[in-house]
Structure 1
Amino acid sequence: MGSWMSMDEACTRLGVRPQTVYAYVSRGKIEVMSDPADTRRSLYRAEDVATLARRKQAGRKHETLATNTLFGAEPSIPTAISTFVRERLYLRGQDAVTLAARATLEEAAQLLWDSGQPVDFSSSVKVARPGRVAAFRTLAELAATGHSTHGRMKRVLQVEGQALVGQLANAFGAQPGQHPLHLRFAQGWGQTPAVAELLRTAMVLLVDHELTSSAFATRITASTGASLPACLLSGLTTLSGPLHGDASGRVKALFDELERQGEDQVIAHYLSTGQPLAGFGHHLYPEGDPRATMLLAMFKPPAVIARFIEKATRLTGLQPNIDVALAALSTHYGLPDDAAFGMFATARSIGLLAHSLEQLGVGQVIRPRGRYVGVLPDKG
């Protein structure tokens, strides 16, 4: 067996579909590289594939199956919301990049929620001090008084979801009103209609990303019959982690270093100490994040950031992901400090609500079992 193999060979060896191989790659279980003979194709490390194949053949005891399912060795929750095909994100069968070129957030929500009616995120709620604190406080108060989702029709929950997204957007700084959400954000942040188009594109690109940690947390909450704001709060608190939806904050801190030290010194420090550069590389997109490619092509980042991206890509071989694009957009247009996370959280709330609604149709509580590895109890 050679050291690298094609997608077809990996699928045959494992007895799975390409989607499952992508899942293995995203979890770091299979290393991937570009095919030197054809850069449009990827090759997969044969040793990693063989290791996974041996584990599958070793038997699937109950505890092994539970552990693998929980940690993503196999897709475990059926969903019709989004998926990945050949390193492209698809939202209910539509290419996310193609959708982002034309759709508003309201239209993206109508698609993800499978709604027969247009979606309206208008809101008149005024927020005195918009930002992350206001957003989480708003959701927490709504979660504390919200109604259970059980026994309520989907169309009623969709209307409630519209209000939630509208209030969340206002809490992050969108101007109250009836305009589409990207225009309200631009107005609230004092930006032009041209920048509003960039905000629209960025947020549509962020509405969902299959079964992420935050989507899983949301679905667990939804499975218990908790209120819709409680489901959303559960997902967004998970999203707020620096290894998930707040990764752009780490990139922003990196950009601040560039202003003080210059790109050469920053890159030299990170590479010499073996520290990864935040925002570069993505397990699901070994050839580059198409969301970042689209967004970065729509504006010119500040010169020092552009030079940094070029040099970091050349020296590491890793492409910038959506977190770099968001941080560059926020920096270039002087958006509020928390704007990147605000855009991410507001946009992803649409996807999290879609996961909540889909999970309600399952009608079963998600209850993983623990595999105890501690001190055995004294039977005496």
Structure 2
Amino acid sequence: MATWITMDEVCTQLGVQPQTVYAYVSRHKLEATPDPADPRRSLYRAEDVAVLAQRKQAGRKPETLAANTLFGSQPSIPTALSTFHRGRLYYRGRDAVELARGATLEEVARLLWGAQQPVVFACPAAARVARPGRVAAFTGLAGLAATGHSTQGRLTAVLHEEAQSLVGPLAAAFGAGTGKAPLHLRFAQGWRQPADAAELLRSAMVLLVDHELTSSAFTARIAASAGASLPACLLAGMTTLSGPLHGDASGRVQALFGEVERSGEEQVLTHYLSTGLPLAGFGHHLYPDGDPRAAALLALFEPPPVIARFIAKVQKLTGLRPNIDAALAALVAHCRLPADAAFGLFTTARSIGLLAHSLEQLSVAQVIRPRGRYVGPPPG
């Protein structure tokens, strides 16, 4: 839960006058709420104050700014695609959790891409693969990247059509059916799931479409800034996404849940807590009050009993709530989806965001080229 502090505490921590605090509030950098003990006064969100204090302490040195640009908490590239506000994720100003209640992946793609026409991720029957999975997905996309046309000198409408043509076959490579139906229905068809499971897949994928300037989005933008083809931009982002600290994090959670199913939640939890090992899938630095995407998804189904008990006990003993990686792994277990389904759903959904970042970067018309700060032996 959020922590609230007084005006005097804010001024002391930031070294500013009350007028500056009011300015932070008016610019939505600091959240305020009425003091329950005295409605004439306000309390201020301590987490916001900590962020402001960190920025102030970092100073304006070029070295500090450069390091923060690449490794810090502040984005260095302007984007209108998605952002975080008061512990919630928004796509172009619309709450992602609210969109997940009914929007299709195609509708969210149209929103993020700013497409004039409805988006359809059609996939011909000839694109069906014999052995669905990440090998088929990466191999197919690599072939397109090797022969694709540069994005330079091409109209946005044409690029939107090409982007649509990439997502459908990518989904099919992970096991979705072919045709023109919405992707969640085609995934349910390919994995032989009922209609209620299709709705769960739809909600999960909408929640995963974008997450501001992630490492994979940044990689895709670098490729786009150099004029690479859309499949090359998407492939660049996907290779970064495949890391276990990013889009394949659900694989780590699935391994943890596997331990729980084999040994029981008490034994596994005791082992992890007694040795200080981190619990994959719990906590998120961007959501100190809990990942709203995970809460929204987990509210739609009941995980297997042993996993549900494990999640509840972890939260009780550590205070950490499950994040979207844990929710996605629980969904795979609930529906008994293929082993690599979590990565397939994540990658297919996030491909829309990666393409959105690539398209947005084209309007900048400047190559992303950070400078290195040399710290090796002196030259010569």
The 5 A counterparts of 1:1-380 are 5=5, 9=10, 43-44=46-47, 50=53, 52-56=55-59, 60-124=60-124, 125-378=127-380
Q: Is the 2:261–2:307 contact (alpha carbons within 8 Å) kept by the matching residues of 1?
A: no
What code does the residue aligned with 1:101 have?
R
Give the CA deviation at 1:252. Answer: 0.2
Q: How many aligned positions are there?
A: 359
Q: 1:151 to 1:53 in 2, by over 3 A?
A: same
Give the CA deviation at 1:20. Answer: 7.1
What code does the residue aligned with 1:69 have?
T
SS of the aligned residue for 1:164 comes to helix
Q: Is the 2:30–2:45 contact (alpha carbons within 8 Å) kept by the matching residues of 1?
A: no
Q: Is the 2:92–2:112 contact (alpha carbons within 8 Å) kept by the matching residues of 1?
A: yes
SS of the aligned residue for 2:108 comes to helix
Q: Is the 1:105–1:347 contact (alpha carbons within 8 Å) kept by the matching residues of 2?
A: yes
How big is each residue's C-alpha offset from its partner over 1:344-373, in whole Å with a ceiling of 9 and x where there is no partner? Answer: 000000000000000000000000000000
Q: Is the 2:221–2:357 contact (alpha carbons within 8 Å) kept by the matching residues of 1?
A: yes
Looking at structure 2, the residues matched to 192 and 123 of structure 1 have their Cα atoms a distance apart, in angstroms, of 21
RMSD: 2.7
What code does the residue aligned with 2:154 have?
R
Between 1:181-190 and 1:74-83, the stretch displaced more is 74-83
Looking at structure 2, the residues matched to 48 and 222 of structure 1 have their Cα atoms a distance apart, in angstroms, of 31
SS of the aligned residue for 1:89 comes to strand
Between 1:67-76 and 1:300-309, the stretch displaced more is 67-76
How big is each residue's C-alpha offset from its partner over 1:242-286, in whole Å with a ceiling of 9 and x where there is no partner? Answer: 111111000000011011110000000000000111000011111
Structure 1's unaligned 5+ residue stretches are 23-34
Q: Is the 1:289–1:320 contact (alpha carbons within 8 Å) kept by the matching residues of 2?
A: yes
Structure 2's unaligned 5+ residue stretches are 38-42
Give the CA deviation at 1:61. Answer: 3.5
What code does the residue aligned with 2:92 have?
R
Looking at structure 2, the residues matched to 6 and 185 of structure 1 have their Cα atoms a distance apart, in angstroms, of 51
How big is each residue's C-alpha offset from its partner over 1:15-58, in whole Å with a ceiling of 9 and x where there is no partner? Answer: 87888789xxxxxxxxxxxx9x9xx98533978864542331xx
Give the CA deviation at 1:72. Answer: 2.8
Q: 1:201 to 1:51 in 2, by over 3 A?
A: closer
Looking at structure 1, the residues matched to 6 and 288 of structure 2 have their Cα atoms a distance apart, in angstroms, of 14
How big is each residue's C-alpha offset from its partner over 1:166-191, in whole Å with a ceiling of 9 and x where there is no partner? Answer: 01000000011111100000000010
Looking at structure 1, the residues matched to 186 and 52 of structure 2 have their Cα atoms a distance apart, in angstroms, of 48
Looking at structure 2, the residues matched to 296 and 47 of structure 1 have their Cα atoms a distance apart, in angstroms, of 30
What code does the residue aligned with 2:220 have?
T
SS of the aligned residue for 1:44 comes to helix
What TM-score, normalized by structure 1, do the two folds share? 0.88
What TM-score, normalized by structure 2, do the two folds share? 0.88
Q: 1:188 to 1:51 in 2, by over 3 A?
A: closer
Q: 1:46 to 1:222 in 2, by over 3 A?
A: closer
Q: Is the 1:6–1:43 contact (alpha carbons within 8 Å) kept by the matching residues of 2?
A: no
SS of the aligned residue for 1:275 comes to coil
Q: Is the 1:5–1:44 contact (alpha carbons within 8 Å) kept by the matching residues of 2?
A: no
Q: Is the 2:132–2:174 contact (alpha carbons within 8 Å) kept by the matching residues of 1?
A: yes
Q: 1:5 to 1:139 in 2, by over 3 A?
A: farther
Looking at structure 2, the residues matched to 116 and 157 of structure 1 have their Cα atoms a distance apart, in angstroms, of 12
Q: 1:45 to 1:265 in 2, by over 3 A?
A: farther
How big is each residue's C-alpha offset from its partner over 1:107-163, in whole Å with a ceiling of 9 and x where there is no partner? Answer: 010000011100000101111111010000011110000000000011101100001
Looking at structure 2, the residues matched to 108 and 122 of structure 1 have their Cα atoms a distance apart, in angstroms, of 16
Q: 1:328 to 1:21 in 2, by over 3 A?
A: farther
Looking at structure 1, the residues matched to 123 and 243 of structure 2 have their Cα atoms a distance apart, in angstroms, of 28
Looking at structure 1, the residues matched to 161 and 5 of structure 2 have their Cα atoms a distance apart, in angstroms, of 49
Q: 1:357 to 1:47 in 2, by over 3 A?
A: closer
SS of the aligned residue for 1:90 comes to strand
SS of the aligned residue for 2:151 comes to coil
Q: Is the 2:4–2:45 contact (alpha carbons within 8 Å) kept by the matching residues of 1?
A: no
SS of the aligned residue for 1:293 comes to helix
